[in-house]
Amino acid sequence: MSPVDSEEPWSGTGRPPGLLALIRHFGAHLVELIHTRIELLSTEVEEELQRGVNILLSMMLALVFGGLSVMMLAVTILIIFWDDHRILVAWLLTAIFLVTALVMGYFARLRVRQKPRFMAASIDELKRDRAALERRP
């Protein structure tokens, strides 16, 4: 609980505070609210950046090692069938690579569309704040 929350501008005893005290109290609450929202926003931005860097690094490593593995497998298969059907095997391998690339591209596109909305928690919190302020008389 912050010090601003424990200080009520008028507890009902004694004489009511002046307009300046009420404005000061309201300003303190407003600054605290803005401070909390900015902290939430900065945390979300930092998490999103970390998530993006981790995903990018993982994807790059997976692409490099996956590509090397697939190329070595293709060369091995081509060497095995070198005397009998090397042209047919080369075409089949090319077709398999193409289909795999199309399927993986489709799945990547789905993942991009299904990612959580950027700064969703901050936006939801601001909507709740607005609704709470609209309810007050």
Q: Total structural domains in the chain?
A: 1
Q: What is the pLDDT of residues 33-82, one digit of tens each?
A: 888 888 888 888 888 889 889 899 998 999 889 889 988 988 898 898 88
Which amino acid is residue 53, in one-letter code?
Answer: V
pLDDT band of 12, cuts 50, 70, 90: low
The set of residues, in sequence order, having a beta carbon less than 8 Å from that of 93 and lying 6+ positions away, is 74, 77, 78
Q: What is the pLDDT of residues 95-105, one digit of tens each?
A: 988 898 899 88
Task: For residue 137, tell me if it sits in a domain.
Answer: no
Task: For residue 15, tell me if it sits in a domain.
Answer: yes
The set of residues, in sequence order, having a beta carbon less than 8 Å from that of 45 and lying 6+ positions away, is 119
Task: For residue 40, tell me if it sits in a domain.
Answer: yes
pLDDT, the chain, mean:
81
Residues 74 and 93 sit within 8 Å (Cβ to Cβ)? yes
Burial of 28 (0-12, 13-18, 19+ CB in 10 A): middle
Q: What is the pLDDT of residues 21-40, one digit of tens each?
A: 888 888 888 888 888 888 88
